[in-house]
Each structure stands twice: as C-alpha cells, then as structure tokens.
Amino acid sequence: MISIEIHRNFPLKSLNTFGIEAKAEELVIVRSLAALHQLIQLKRSPIQVLGGGSNILFTGDLPGLTIKNEIDGIEVFIENKHDALIKVGGGVVWHDLVLWAVEQGFGGIENLSLIPGTVGAAPIQNIGAYGVELKDVFHSLEAYDLNTGESSVFHHSDCHFGYRDSVFKQELKGRFCIANVYLQLQKIPKINTAYGDIQRTLEGWDIKKPSIRDVSNAVIHIRQSKLPDPAVIGNAGSFFKNPELESVDFQRFSEKFPDAPNYSQPDGRVKVPAGWLIEKAGWKGKRFGDAGCHIKQALVLVNYGTAKGEEILALAKKIQASVLEQFGITLTPEVNVW
C-alpha cells in the first residue's frame, strides 16, 4: 500500500503559467503508476488532471480531486537501424524530453523545442510548431480511466488527432490520465527548416548544413524573441488557434483583405494567422487592468499581475466578437478554460 498525501485547499498560482490565483479542494502529486491506480480507487468526484499548467486558464477554484501528474522516466523501448521507439512518463517536462532527444541524436521533435508543458498533455493538445506536430512522431500512449481505474492503450488512429485537437479534447475530455507516451524518433534525422524563421535564423548564424541541435537552438531563439516569458508576465502562449478557412470562404475573405498572410493546407483549406486578425482589429497592446493583449504578440493574452481568470476570459470573448464582426471569422481558443 502506497502512502498518499492529500493536500487540501492547495494554492495553484505557481502551478499555472497564467499565474492565476485559484485553489484545489484536494490535490495529490502522483509519481508512479501504482500511486495513480490507488488514488483513482478512492472514487473522488470530480477528478481532474493537471500537467504543467501551461495551456490552462483557471476561472475559479477546482472542486473535488486534482491529480498533479509527475510520472517520470525516459527510456529507449525498442530501436533498430533507422528508428528509436521511446517511452516517456506523462509528467516529464516536454522541453526536457526535446533536449534529451537532441543529445541522443534522435530527430523528429527538435522543431517543438521550448514548448511549455508536460509530455502527458502533448497528445491531448497535439502540440505543434514550425511545421511539426506531435502526431508526426506519435506511436501510442497508456492512460488510466479516471472513473474506473482501468488502463487502456491508445494507438495513433484512436487519438483522432487534428489541429491542436484530439479525442482527449472532445468525446474523451476529462476521462483519462495519460501515464506514458511512446514516440517514434529518427536515428537518421530528417531536417525540417522550411517553416517560419528557422532557415533565416540559421543563415544569419552562417549554418549551411544544420543538425537537429542547430534547429533546436534556432527554434529556442525565435520563441524567446517573440513570446513573453511566463516567469515574467503570466501567459499561456497562443490563446487562439489560427483559423482554417474553406477555399470558397478564403476567396471572399482575400478579396476584402488581399494583404492578409495565408498558408495553404494539404486538405485544400487555407490558414490565416489569428495574430494578424487580432492586431488588425486593434487589440495588440491593449490593457484592461491587469488583463491584456501582449504588446509584441497579439495572439498572446497576458496577466500583468493580479488579473482574475474571468477577466482574461472576458477579454478573449471581446476579441472573438471584434474579429467576427470585422472579418467574419470565428476564433477558437487553444487554451483550455477550467
């Protein structure tokens, strides 16, 4: 029998990158599968799982039991000449995993450097950046049903990955705690520098044949130059998804706004940067008390100090209404609102 310490009325300000004041009625830090299984058997209700707190906006205190997933461990599970299947604990910090993979010479996730959060949250969000998404390297995961305590394995097709989306944000939302994630990484890396400013950054460093370490360093540099540090200003990174328009809708949009940046997608839709829409709508740098739209990146909503989650959410809704009125486009939050 494992000893489980239950913290009551636990302050969550340090456990969310927005820095929102909130409390968990009960909180337990879980570092092993045995502890997780035993905890679920306590039959608390409701139960929610907290990872790195980097993609969450608290709008009030959390009732019931909050599980803080800190299941650790990175290991090479299976490998051959070309690939390595790695097993990673759900509580591992995502960027720590990226640095480990780069050190091992395993390619596939270097473009996802410096994304905040934990490995267990990565499949839920299908995290992505600079031309790469989690689904591109995902193999499978092990998860525990928070209602029954039973374990399940989810393979790639089971997860229904979409743009910053998965089955765990839809029909299975709040049902599972992801204990371990398996990723298929390349032992002969395929370098991807085509997206964003990576190639330009590497050229500025006079790097003509980049390694995965070079790509990782470039992504870190770009992200640090564009996005505010949550340790300095509370934020959860991009608050909204970049909208994807059907071709006919984009045609009408582009006739009115021919200067709008856009990116054609494999399925025929066209992606328009949400940051551009928000900035053109006049929100960039706007501040309402301690809730605001970042002065350098309109896609990032920030907490300048003591903003409540409800204030951040109210600002987000005003931005959505404004963009819809001016452009006829509905912005969908990327951040999970609790």
**Active-site pick, 110, 238, 244, 311:** 238
Separation between Cα atoms, residue 18 and residue 320, nearest integer Å: 20
**Active-site pick, 26, 110, 142, 334:** 334
Look up 334 and say whether it is catalytic. yes
Separation between Cα atoms, residue 61 and residue 22, nearest integer Å: 5
180 conformational bin, left if phi > 0, alpha if psi -120 to 50, beta if neither: beta
Separation between Cα atoms, residue 175 and residue 134, nearest integer Å: 20
Kindly report the backbone phi and psi dihedral angles of residue 162, in degrees, each rounded to the nearest multiple of 5, phi listed first.
Answer: -140, -170
* CB contact at 8 A, 219 and 198: yes
Strands (E) in the chain, as ranges, are 7-11, 23-30, 47-50, 56-57, 62-69, 74-79, 83-89, 128-129, 132-133, 138-145, 151-155, 176-186, 234-238, 244-245, 263-264, 270-271, 287-288, 291-293, 300-303, 336-337
Degrees, nearest 5: CA angle 147-149-155 = 95
**Active-site pick, 70, 164, 166, 216:** 164
Order across the sheet with 47-50: list the strands: 7-11, 23-30, 62-69, 47-50
Residue 246 is which amino acid?
E
Token digits of residue 338: 């609790």
Look up 287 and say whether it is catalytic. no
Residue 98 is which amino acid?
V
Look up 45 and say whether it is catalytic. no
Active site residues: 164, 238, 334
